[in-house]
Structure 1
Amino acid sequence: MERIKKKRRGNKNKKVGGLNSSFFVAVVILFVLFLYSLGMSGVSYNLRQLAGLFYAETITPEGLKESYKERPLRVVIVPGHDNVSKGSHFRGLNESDLNIELAYKLLEILSLDPKFHVWVSREQDGEYADWFRKYKEENQDDINTFIKERRSVWNDAANLGFVDRHVAVERSDAPSRVAFDLYAMNKYAAENEIDVLLHIHWNDYAGRKGNTSGKYSGFSIYVPEYQMPNSRASIALAEALRDRLSQFFAKSNMPLEEGTIIEDQELIAVGSNASQKKASILIEYGYIYESQFLDKELRSLILSELAHQTYFGILDFFEEGRKPDGRLGALLPYEWKGSIPQNARDSKDVLSMQVAMAKEGVYPPSGKTLTDCPISGNFGPCTKTALAKFQEKHGSKILSPLNLVNGTGVVGDMTILVLNELYGR
């Protein structure tokens, strides 16, 4: 999903007619309540909604966890874009296709856990799933009314000082067809007791030239801004996902995405205009041009790992300390069968070794970050330095039999033996 490199924040201490906005809001609330007490029929529908709509939480972290204890959680995975609007692209790779591939890997994992009931909004061929397509067709007028009302109420609230407008990241408006689909999903979630919506995307930014790799990398997570009724639960879930994903994948280094979790007021996917009552997050899993996503076979493995870490992050939120049935992810356990050349590229052996070294706390090497040294399947200076530290950490088994003290960064028989002992199948 393309970003425009500009940031603008509203003034949280905005003055209205010389008065502090909090004082103004209090006066307006008292006035509305007074009109209610008189039963005045002239009070508009919008004013009747304001006092409760924007401050009452519709979902809390505690409530979400309680639902998880009581019944299987209902989750909808929304792979961004579709066969018409394909999103960002790079050298023949379309974001919409990546979103679908990752969505179905995540569906497969979540479906194995009886604590989750999961749906995906698009089929593997990219077309919308029948249940969502039928919902849109049968409720078109109601959805359009919903969109109009949400926008109208939000604008009135902003004009009256109930909410503070601000733009976290400026972007092009979604086409009307796409906006309709996103609002339809928000309405569907509220009407069908959906607990969590996970929107899957890949990032890009305005100004990158064609088939030239860009300057940013890493994942980010967009959540409803603090004034939204679903903000707190969404942020809490996003924090657990961030902590899991960041064990193996770099956080975004784009300045506008500093902090990794970005509160957004305008993304329809997470509930712009207070249109979403449920926990909703949008994950940008990386920038589409990053090298580790370009080789098809290697990309499939990395997407599987991203899906596993997303699942583990969800478990971290709902059940701190729960062990995911002994699974380490998609890349571990793994069986290494022979030496690995130091110029290896797009290598499964290197990819799994990098993950193993990350779990050992030696990758990326000291002084480097996952932005400098992504888990990529490429054997370069980062991998060699980290491997030397791994060898020294397990020196009694790897180095001592060879009468060595310092790690060599070369994969030999003893290194393979220890890797397989620790992380082999």
Structure 2
Amino acid sequence: MAFAELLERAGGVGLFQALQVFTLLLPSMLVPSQLLMENFSAAIPGHRCWVHMLDNSSEAPANLTSKALLTVSIPPGPNQEPHQCRRFRQPQWQLLDPNATATNWSEAATEPCMDGWVYDRSTFTSTIVAEVSPPAPLPNPRLSCLASQGCPSGACLQHRFGRKPSLSWCCLQVALANTGTTFASNFLIYCGLRFLSAFGVAGIIMTPVTLMVEWTTTRRRAVAITMLGCSYSLGQMVLGALAFTLRDWRTLQLAVSMPFFASLCFCNRWLPESARWLIIVGKPDQALQELRKVARINGHKQATKSLTVEVLLTSMEEEVAAAQARRSLLDLFLVPKLRWRSCSMFLVSFSQMVSYYGLVMDLQNLGSDIFLLQVLFGAVDLLGRATTTFLFSFLGHRMTLASFQTMAGLSILANVLVPQGRWGGFLLPC
């Protein structure tokens, strides 16, 4: 709590904290676009096998319609739509008979797609599946690309090099890696660049939270973190609107990557380093400069005289000693009470991540209009985050968490009772 007292001397919460929040909202708002990008760029469009007679105009009979050619060339799939992964070896002319049934052809008369696929471009003009992925449409390429999003690299970077350099580096890494994906010539290169981007995204998630906590007084932290969380929700809604406007995956990728360069420049221009971290790593002179800068922005110019290096070192003596003590992950499990709380929170976090990202990363199987679904997910998420701070005041932390967990569990269980046909057919992988 020693640094909190120093922060109160520098003006507590004022203009600086407001500017800091708005500065960090931009990179935070861009995070959902990187986590959920593959909902749109890797969406699996409707597809069928390429057939010479059907897709080569020079071989198509002039007296037959496209629907008739499709009937004799592509067998019906499980949902009675044209099969996505098989075609007839030879045209089945008998199927043009009005009295023809499914028994008029057998599985032996079909073969896998030997010459590629024809994709439906009515929703997306291009996707990774149609342009970058291997020849066969992948069942769910977006999940394979995002498997590394939980990397703890952000915590290591900010602890070793500082909060501001960590945020700047992560923004640069995400901007370069995601811009590079627009020029990816194959699926492996695309996944490699997205893997590199994942490390940067992890840092952007964690570093703004740390900066806000360390530059905000205790009684205002809940509001600051809530605002940061609401920016994630707004980012989801913006992503849905952008994807609806930009139907080409490369254009969409550039649109959500370029703002990271702007965020990098804006953060480097004026965002101060954490004074608490500077004191802990043995840089009290630089920490004093940052505190005085904050005091001037907050209008407490008299604090520049009362804040000295000796005051900083004296106030932070115990905190520095505690921070420099060697700790390990095992310390969370050595104390019985701390072990119980750690295990409980691990379980809560695991259940939240699995259920939330399991739904929001697979929008294509939830309904036909994934753009509207993305916006609705963001709107519901915004409502939940915005009301959390108020619920803390009335119900407390544990009751609020338990209520939300119960509501989420009951909603997922109730969803099992909804018939699949209610939401339309599911795309079947080859």
Q: Same fold (TM over 0.5)?
A: no
Q: TM-score, normalised by structure 1?
A: 0.24
Question: Larger RCO: Structure 1 or Structure 2 (Cα < 8 Å, ≥ 6 residues apart)?
Answer: 2
Larger radius of gyration: 2
More helix by share: 2
